[in-house]
Amino acid sequence: QLSPTFYDTSCTRALATIKSGVMAAVSSDPRMGASLLRLHFHDCFVQGCDASVLLSGMEQNALPNNGSLRGFGVIDSIKTQIEAICAQTVSCADILTVAARDSVVALGGPSWTVPLGRRDSIDANEAAANSDLPGPTSSRSDLELAFSNKGLLTVDMVALSGAHTIGQAQCGTFKDRIYNETNIDTTFATSLRANCPRSGGDGSLANLDTTTANTFDNAYYTNLVSQKGLLHSDQVLFNNDTTDNTVRNFASNPAAFSSAFTTAMIKMGNIAPKTGTQGQIRLSCSRVNS
């Protein structure tokens, strides 16, 4: 049973320390806010929000993670600061969950209260990372299944995909879409081709939100309505199908998006937490205690 007041007596400065660490990291590199939010998602979808993704090797080598996850150093350095004030008290899983919230806030998005008390795993699961994380070529029903497997509804899936209002993706993840798909704005596709050639250049970056890459707003959905979703898995949410109305609602009503996003983030943060005597409080987020 998680609780927002979990560290109120055991580590009064925990939340403020995480916030200032995230603020500093995001002000020197705005994309870091996106990277920390994604790191939390990739943690929670693989054996729950237990910091398994932070352990060196293992899950980090899985296809959706390798060469694309960022932010490990930021979490490690916040953990070092927190260990100095409250020894072996605050879990890496909680630090990452709060850092994801603070990242959204740092980029202008909504805030919410984070339930706390997660403990850290003593293992990680590369195979589960490969099977449970959806990929950029997923269909709408693939996405719905991946999220329902974690207890999340279709509306949660559409709202959480709005995280693609910030951050970047590598050419290899959207190449097929910009050369071969027809439900894409022509000018948008043409401009992306300049930095993402048919052959090679797989690592070059494009903004997931072509309008406001460093602002957490609802522009992701207005982009989808104008066929400017970057990933195939983005545009499937608005493609004459069952999720079109939700996308239209979030595009025209920022408050509806904020409310659905914060609700869904709390649900995602509550996936299979380790509590009580399960797992451990790691001393260093990148390795289990010896």
The neighbouring-strand residues paired with 169 are 206
Tokens of 92: 């890496």
Q: Which is nearer to ligand HEM, 82 or 104 (CB)?
A: 104
Residue choice 6, 41, 220, 221 for contact with ligand HEM (CB under 6 A): 41
Closest to 208 measured CA to CA, from 1, 38, 92, 66: 38
- Strand 205-207 and strand 168-170: the pairing is antiparallel
Q: Which stretch binds ligand HEM (CB under 6 A): 27-35, 115-123, 219-227, 245-253?
A: 27-35
Give the length of the chain: 290
Residue choice 233, 235, 243, 258 for contact with ligand HEM (CB under 6 A): 233
Contact flag: residue 50 with Ca ion (CB under 5 A): yes
Strand (E) positions, 46-204?
A: 168-170
Q: Which is nearer to Ca ion, 128 or 139 (CB)?
A: 128
Contact flag: residue 219 with Ca ion (CB under 5 A): yes
Q: In whole angstroms, give the CA distance from residue 248 to residue 264.
A: 18
Catalytic residue selected from 31, 38, 40, 42: 42
Which uninterrupted H or E stretch holds 86?
A: none
Residue choice 20, 61, 68, 77 for contact with ligand HEM (CB under 6 A): 68
Contact flag: residue 109 with ligand HEM (CB under 6 A): no
Q: In whole angstroms, give the CA distance from residue 73 to residue 142.
A: 32
CA angle 236, 260, 225 (to 5 degrees): 35
Site for ligand HEM in 133-162 (CB under 6 A): 134-136, 138, 143, 157, 160-161
Q: Which stretch binds ligand HEM (CB under 6 A): 34-42, 49-57, 193-201, 279-287?
A: 34-42
Establish whether 42 is a catalytic residue: yes
Maximum C-alpha span of the chain: 57
Q: Which stretch binds ligand HEM (CB under 6 A): 2-10, 91-99, 167-175, 180-188?
A: 167-175
Q: In whole angstroms, give the CA distance from residue 128 to residue 135.
A: 13
Q: In whole angstroms, give the CA distance from residue 116 to residue 93.
A: 9
Confirm whether residue 50 is marked as ligand binding: yes
Residue with tokens 């693609």: 164
Inter-CA distances, 205 with 69, 227, 258, Å: 14, 19, 27
Site for Ca ion in 164-183 (CB under 5 A): 165
The neighbouring-strand residues paired with 262 are none
Q: Which residues are annotated as a binding site?
A: 43, 46, 48, 50, 52, 59, 134, 164-165, 209, 212, 217
Q: Which residues are annotated as a binding site for substrate?
A: 134
Q: Which residues are annotated as a binding site for Ca(2+)?
A: 43, 46, 48, 50, 52, 59, 165, 209, 212, 217
Residues that bind ligand HEM (CB under 6 A): 31, 34-35, 37-38, 41, 68, 70, 134-136, 138, 143, 157, 160-161, 163-164, 166-170, 173, 208, 231, 233
Please list the active-site residues. 42
Residues that bind Ca ion (CB under 5 A): 43, 46-47, 50, 52, 165, 209, 212, 215, 217, 219
